[in-house]
């Protein structure tokens, strides 16, 4: 299992809300499929965004990162988490 660390930026014009980490975490679990290898998620509020750590089951770090970014793209595509974008995409 590998830990993939990401920083998400809130790109909406909406005021910051405390629900940001919960929105992201909920969206990740809602979009996760068995092939993503998602074991655990940690999300916490940061100034202007959310810090996320995805614990991903994969054969190596590169595969874990690819799985994490694919899941993240799906999770941020719609719903409340849509207001976030990855700070430094791969």
Q: Per-domain residue ranges for the chain?
A: 2-86
Q: Do 9 and 49 contact (CB within 8 A), yes or no?
A: yes
pLDDT, tens digit only, all 90 positions of the chain? 999 999 998 887 666 566 689 989 999 999 999 999 999 999 999 888 899 999 999 999 999 999 999 999 999 998 888 888 888 654
Assigned fold of 2-86: Alpha-Beta Plaits (3.30.70)
Q: Do 24 and 52 contact (CB within 8 A), yes or no?
A: yes
Cα–Cα distance between 43 and 53 in angstroms, integer? 7
Closest CA to 8 of 72, 87, 80, 71: 87
């Amino acid at each position: 299992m590998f830990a993939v660390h990401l920083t998400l930026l809130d790109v909406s014009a909406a005021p910051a809300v405390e629900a940001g980490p919960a929105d992201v975490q909920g969206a990740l679990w809602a979009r996760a499929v068995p092939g993503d290898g998602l074991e655990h998620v940690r999300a916490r509020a940061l100034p202007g965004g959310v810090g996320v750590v995805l614990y991903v089951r994969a054969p190596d770090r590169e595969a874990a990162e690819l799985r994490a970014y694919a899941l993240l793209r799906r999770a941020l595509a719609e719903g409340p988490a849509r207001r976030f974008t990855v700070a430094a995409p791969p």
